[in-house]
Structure 1
Amino acid sequence: MNDLDLNTLLGPEDDEGSGRRGGRGAARRGRRRRRRRNRGGFIAPLLAFIVLAGIIGGGGYYGYLWLSDALVPDDYTGQGSGEVVIEIKSGQSASEVATELEKQGVVASARAFTNAIANAGMSDKLQPGEYKMAKKMSAAAAVQRLGADNRLLAKVTIKEGLRLSDTLSTLAKETGKPVKEFTAAAKNTKDLDLPSYAKGRLEGYAFPATYEFQPKTTPKQMLTAMVDRFNQTAEQMDIEGGAKALGRTPHEIVVIASIVQAEAGRQEDMAKIARVIYNRLELNPPMKLQMDSTVMYALKKYRTTATFAETKIKHPYNTYANLGLPPGAITNPGDHAIEAALNPAKGTWRYFVATDPKSSVTKFATTEAEFNELLAEFKRNGG
């Protein structure tokens, strides 16, 4: 090696000694340091190779178990057995649900479930609610069982024209909750989001429809859902604007709709019945409504006609004795009855009679003489 090569290796000259920094001794020490560094750099990958080799080969059984658990998590097979109810709370992630399923013994491992739900593309599609599961299910079967269609729900159909008392009884029967809880919730109307014009009365505002309630839904929440449905319908139909156009309050529209619902045997007669009510209210002097349905409501009976004696009772809902509308609704009207109250048919009718009780056919009359003819027809048909 010539001097130039040596200088390049050893670096610049030193001010003392051999005339070069560190001289040959320094060069040897530098070479030793480089060798030590090289040995250290070689040891790390060597150790990694040894550990990996131990896991795959030399480690044998334990290495296999470690890799197996990491790559293929524990899982059951089949649909499982027994029964366990799992609740998915609002906002829960798939991994949180997986942890709960493993804890409850539904799946063998949370990892198996998260893998299965990711493969099914349902990681962000879990719906809050309660689900009936089994013990020791395969992860794939658990994912399938957690579809929205499998939620535990009480499906309740509230028919148009039911009185509030019957609505509460139906809710209790279909949900398995005590009727006294519904009665208590119905009395505390300030918590039910009733519109201001309801004047604190729930009758008429528990909208008839089919509802699906989760097992933990309280009676108060159920009734609130029904009032919310009424509010949606009222907004869609513009009850407030329609009432103003008719010179009525929104509450009066609901009361009229409730009478129409109780009196009509067929949907196509509703608008005409509403017209009869308006014609009687708008006569000068006004004519009493004389609706048997309001008398039956006052008496808590369910017949379609009232006797002469029954029409003489003293009660604010007796429209044979009192002028004008009763103070509140007598049923929970559906959207067709509300529509009829907002858009009564055009006509001069003041009377109507269900002349054939079997077919629910209703006929209309303007004069009292015509009305008497309809009554005679009603009697001939067994009324």
Structure 2
Amino acid sequence: MDFLVGAEDDDGSRRGSRQSPGRRGGRRRRRRNRGGFLAPMLAVIVLIGGLGAAGFYGYTWLREMTTPQDYAGEGSGEVVIEIKDGQTASDVAQTLEKQDVVKSARTFTGAVADAGKSASLQPGEYRMRKRMSSAAAVKLLDPSLRLLERVTLKEGLRLSDTLATLAKETGKPLKEFQQAAKNVKALGLPGYAKGRLEGYAFPATYDITPKMTAADILTAMVDRFNQTADKDGLVSAAKSLGHTPHEIMTIASIVQAESGSVEDMSKVARVIYNRLDGNRKLEMDSTVMYGLNKYGISATNADLESKSPYNTYKRLGLPPGPIANPGDHAIQAALDPAKGDWIWFVTTDPKRGITKFASTEAEFFQLKAEFEKNRNGG
């Protein structure tokens, strides 16, 4: 019977009716154990989530603390910033931060690098604003926005006209330039210039900043001459021609004044050398006019009676010094004259700048007649 009862107990329907209270309690304990396992799991999940949130906010805080801040927008007010020769982007960044143009030097160097302009910052003065974004500051440091006057000085200008042009273009008083021109020791003139700036204020285009003084500007022009002289080998070439560098510059100034075109310069230089070598007077109208402080291409008979040391109709050899500031083409012509036996040249058509050359006196008179005809409109 017990065997049969036990067997019947394997039937699910019967097993439930014969369970003792103790057995029902055991099943309930097993259900409570499963619920107790979930609670710690939830606690761990919450803990991990909390740590993740803390890590996220901690990372965000750390990033904000370590990432340089930047101003926003185009800024306001005005400040002039100077980039000095040889300064790097980092040097400029420090200046901008110190002047409160940008919030951080690091953000500026990053903005310059992003724009690909780290090596493009040029010396000069720039008008900027306070509290600008670094990207906006980079844009205002474009070389085309530098505060400067671009002054072009023509080849062949006399020193007096050069100084007047500089005064007009820069707004600085003419007296400042005249005074600076007298202090030749401060200008860096070469020794062979004999203490005279005429002929050595090299004609070119110059970028002039507001902070440059008259002396600074003239020094830049002399520096440019010295560079040209080095490039052309002026000292050694002059020696090979049997002249001093000062004499070569005097010849170059006459070449510049007398030539109708660059193509004529080497021929004009040859005429000068042929006259000097032949112990002839130069007879150049340009030197006579310079000595009289007059302008024109043809001296009058009264002009030719001048007792000026620049009157090459009366005096043998070269005048005391340059009569203008020659350019590089004229200097090169004086150092490398064309080959020829010309003794005379005449600008037969001044309006078109046509100059013709003659080896005989008869040819010269023909050219002179042609000049008179063109001058009178014939």
Q: 1:332 to 1:144 in 2, by over 3 A?
A: same
Letter of the 2:316 partner, please give it.
L
Q: Does residue 182 of structure 1 match 2:173? A: no
The answer to whether the 8 A contact 1:157-1:211 is kept is: yes
Gaps in structure 2 of 5+ consecutive residues: 1-49
- Residue in 2 that maps onto 1:31: none
Gaps in structure 1 of 5+ consecutive residues: 1-48, 58-62
Percent identity among equivalent residues? 64
Q: How much does 1:366 deviate?
A: 2.0
Aligned ranges for residues 18-29 of structure 1 at < 5 Å? none
SS at match of 1:371: helix
Pick aligned residue for 2:325 from 332, 337, 350: 332
- Residue in 2 that maps onto 1:75: 71
Letter of the 1:262 partner, please give it.
A
Q: Tell me the TM-score normalised to structure 1 length.
A: 0.77
Q: 1:337 to 1:96 in 2, by over 3 A?
A: closer
Q: Does residue 274 of structure 1 match 2:265? A: no
Letter of the 1:249 partner, please give it.
T
- Residue in 2 that maps onto 1:320: 313
Aligned ranges for residues 230-241 of structure 1 at < 5 Å? 230-241=225-236
- Residue in 2 that maps onto 1:44: none
The answer to whether the 8 A contact 1:272-1:344 is kept is: yes
Equivalent-residue separation in structure 2 for 1:355 and 1:325 (angstroms):
24
Aligned ranges for residues 155-194 of structure 1 at < 5 Å? 155-194=150-189
How many residues are paired up? Answer: 326
- Residue in 2 that maps onto 1:7: none
Pick aligned residue for 2:335 from 298, 322, 342: 342
Q: Which has the larger radius of gyration?
A: 2
- Residue in 1 that maps onto 2:136: 141
Q: 1:253 to 1:70 in 2, by over 3 A?
A: same
- Residue in 1 that maps onto 2:354: 361
Q: 1:301 to 1:54 in 2, by over 3 A?
A: same
Equivalent-residue separation in structure 2 for 1:268 and 1:97 (angstroms):
47
- Residue in 1 that maps onto 2:218: 223
Equivalent-residue separation in structure 2 for 1:224 and 1:253 (angstroms):
21
Aligned ranges for residues 97-112 of structure 1 at < 5 Å? 97-98=92-93, 100-102=95-97, 104-112=99-107
The answer to whether the 8 A contact 1:107-1:137 is kept is: yes
The answer to whether the 8 A contact 2:70-2:134 is kept is: no
- Residue in 2 that maps onto 1:378: 371
Q: How much does 1:109 deviate?
A: 4.7
The answer to whether the 8 A contact 2:348-2:374 is kept is: yes
Q: 1:366 to 1:164 in 2, by over 3 A?
A: same
Q: Which moved more, 1:228-237 or 1:294-303?
A: 228-237
SS at match of 1:341: helix
Q: Tell me the TM-score normalised to structure 2 length.
A: 0.78
Aligned ranges for residues 245-284 of structure 1 at < 5 Å? 245-283=240-278
- Residue in 2 that maps onto 1:212: 207
Deviations 1:211-263 (A, max 9, x none): 22332222222222222222222222222222222221111111011001001
The answer to whether the 8 A contact 1:163-1:332 is kept is: yes
- Residue in 2 that maps onto 1:117: 112
The answer to whether the 8 A contact 2:148-2:210 is kept is: yes
Pick aligned residue for 1:297 from 279, 290, 306: 290
Q: Which moved more, 1:233-242 or 1:304-313?
A: 233-242
